[in-house]
Amino acid sequence: MDIPAQTTPEQLIETALNLSRYARRLTESDTAALDRLRTTLFTPWDATAMQAMLDGCAVEDETTLKKALRTLRKQVMLRLIVRDLAGLADLREVMSTATLLAEVTTNFALSRIDGWLRSQDGPPIG
């Protein structure tokens, strides 16, 4: 994508936040979101980064699992929305990032829930 050389990350972010109420609300509810966004704006999400973020969360029960998944979703969507609206991401990146988010979160949740159920009830029979 061609971005004018004089455009700063702050200008790109502000333009995107003016276009997306969801992104604006995310940055208003999480004071560190803008700082994270400034440092990662020019880096597309990948499965490794998503997985690393989830692996860094202390997930011990269903409540903390849901919180970790929500936190990841918010961070991925915020960066993706801003990259898309700023012209830094093409349609392929938008679609593949959304797909990766679904795959990573589904696999992460499944592995945790499966482990909890196996420790509670034992392995499946048959």
- What does each of the 126 residues of the chain score in pLDDT, given as a tens digit? 555 555 789 999 999 999 999 999 999 999 899 999 999 999 999 999 999 999 999 999 999 999 999 999 999 999 999 999 999 999 999 999 999 999 999 999 999 999 999 999 998 887
**Separation CA 12–CA 43 (nearest Å):** 14
Whole-model pTM over 0.85: yes
Q: Which amino acid is at 60?
A: E
Asked whether the beta carbons of 42 and 88 are under 8 A apart, the reply is yes
Q: Write down how long the chain is.
A: 126
Q: HSE-up of 109 (CA within 13 Å, CB side)?
A: 16
Q: Which amino acid is at 105?
A: T
Asked whether the beta carbons of 100 and 47 are under 8 A apart, the reply is yes
The confidence score (pLDDT) of residue 6 equals 54
Asked whether the beta carbons of 69 and 108 are under 8 A apart, the reply is yes
**Separation CA 75–CA 26 (nearest Å):** 9
Residue ranges per domain, the chain?
A: 9-121
What are the structure tokens assigned to 54, written together?
A: 């989830």
